Amino acid sequence: MLYLASKSPRRHELLARLGVDFGTIDLDIPEQRQPGEGADGYVRRVAREKAGAGLLKVVATPGAVVLGSDTEVILDDEVFGKPANADDAAAMLRRLSGRTHRVVSAVWLVSAARELEAVSVSEVTFDTLDEARIAAYIATGEAFGKAGAYGIQGLAETFVSRLDGSFSGVMGLPLYETASLLRRFGLLRESGVAA
């Protein structure tokens, strides 16, 4: 049985696209970068911690496999998490305006017997955003609960002048990498159909 260790509706929607049956585990893992920890290493560690904590909740289920994932927006080695409020969201969007940032999405699949990891790195270039455009976007409410204060699958898609990488990875779960891991665990056939 596959479990998704995430309460993110975007991850749930993306994983469902692969046609696999899965349960959801609601976790609250602290997402705090350690002193001296690289941005990419931080994303990978948090994803692994989510998967491991999820496995502890379902370890009594025979054959349980848990998927943990984390996605972060990174600019100049600074990790842009979810904004605390409208001012925080506006500050993030001002920093991303007219620049290229990286979106790192790490995925771990763990069971009692094994674990596998995949990482997707995308480069996203934003158009120059003026204050009115930033304020209008924040007013939609879409900036909240999302790394970097934007959701590429919504109105912020109009901010993106260039994307080099995985659209689903920027959304929160890179489907190419996730499908590859699921195949290696025998949960998805080569044809892409659920096993």
Q: What is the CA radius of gyration of the chain?
A: 17
At 135, the pLDDT band (50, 70, 90 cuts) reads very high
- Could you give the CA distance from residue 16 to residue 104 in angstroms, rounded to a whole number? 21
pLDDT tens for each residue of 5-62 = 998 899 999 999 999 999 999 998 888 899 999 999 999 999 999 999 999 999 889 9
pLDDT of the residue at 187: 94
pLDDT for 183 beyond 70: yes
Marked catalytic residue, from 26, 28, 40, 70? 70
Residue 115 has pLDDT above 80, yes or no: yes
Write out pLDDT tens, residues 46-92.
999 999 999 999 988 999 999 999 999 999 999 999 999 999 999 99
Task: Report the b/e string of 179-189 with b at 16+ CB within 10 A.
Answer: bbbbeebebbe
Mean pLDDT value of segment 151-166: 97
Task: Record the pTM.
Answer: 0.93
Q: What is the pLDDT of residue 37?
A: 95
Residue 77 is among the residues annotated as catalytic for this protein: no
The pLDDT of residue 195:
58
Q: Give me the half-sphere count of Cα atoms (radius 13 Å) on the Cβ side of residue 31.
A: 17
Please choose, from the candidates 88, 119, 89, 90, the residue with its C-alpha nearest in 3D space to the C-alpha of residue 103: 119
Cα separation, 164 vs 122, in Å, equals 6
**Where residue 174 falls among pLDDT bands split at 50, 70, 90?**
very high
- Local confidence band at 138 (pLDDT 50, 70, 90 cut-offs): very high
Which two structure tokens, joined as six digits, stand for 195? 């096993």
Is pLDDT at 151 greater than 90 in this prediction?
yes
What integer best gives the mean pLDDT of the chain? 95
pLDDT band at residue 190 using 50, 70 and 90 as cut-offs: low
Q: Which H, E and C letters describe the chain, residue by residue?
A: CEEECCCCHHHHHHHHHCCCCEEECCCCCCCCCCCCCCHHHHHHHHHHHHHHHHHHHHCCCCCCEEEEEEEEEEECCEEECCCCCHHHHHHHHHHHCCCEEEEEEEEEEECCCCEEEEEEEEEEEECCCCHHHHHHHHHCCCCCCCHHHCCCCCHHHHHEEEEECCHHHHHCCCHHHHHHHHHHCCCECCCCCEC
**How high is the pLDDT of residue 193?**
60
CA 123 – CA 174 distance, rounded (Å): 14
Average pLDDT of the segment spanning 100-110? 98
Domains and CATH numbers, the chain: 2-185 (3.90.950.10)
Determine contact, residues 90/150, Cβ cutoff 8 Å.
no
